[in-house]
Structure 1
């Protein structure tokens, strides 16, 4: 029985030592490779997403010279709501919204 325990103990010591040495070697290699990449400038490239492009929105203008063709107040409010939704979603800037609002309200 003492021979069996001694054999198991020896195997455990050898396996533990091999595992510890292997871990240290791996850690040292990772550090060395990281330093080489840093010196060589192998940083991971970062990519910026391209800015979204939007199709131009139709411009609604109130005809000035034809008062009989003037849109009703309900139509004007509907147009203003459309422009407000475009402004809130980021398609129109607040300045563009104000320009369109001035055209609609005339």
Structure 2
């Protein structure tokens, strides 16, 4: 019986030691991986912030420019006729008409 008791005790000590060592290794690896994951997350966050800072938002005037460019251009002859009608009605003087005509033809 003492031999059996000694064998059981030895087995208990070996199993307890193995469990303690295994737990310690597992905690150490978890801490190492947590540090590495935190560093990776910080690097990604920093890179994202740098990318966002590098991009400049488009000014609102430039955003409206494509909409204005989408309008069909007015016919030059139609615009000249409108200017002539305004001159005939006395709304434009001869000098104003000449300036607008030169601007339109330029």
Higher helix share: 2
Whose Rg is larger? 2
Q: TM-score, normalised by structure 1?
A: 0.39
Greater length-normalized contact order (CA 8 Å, ≥ 6 residues apart)? 1
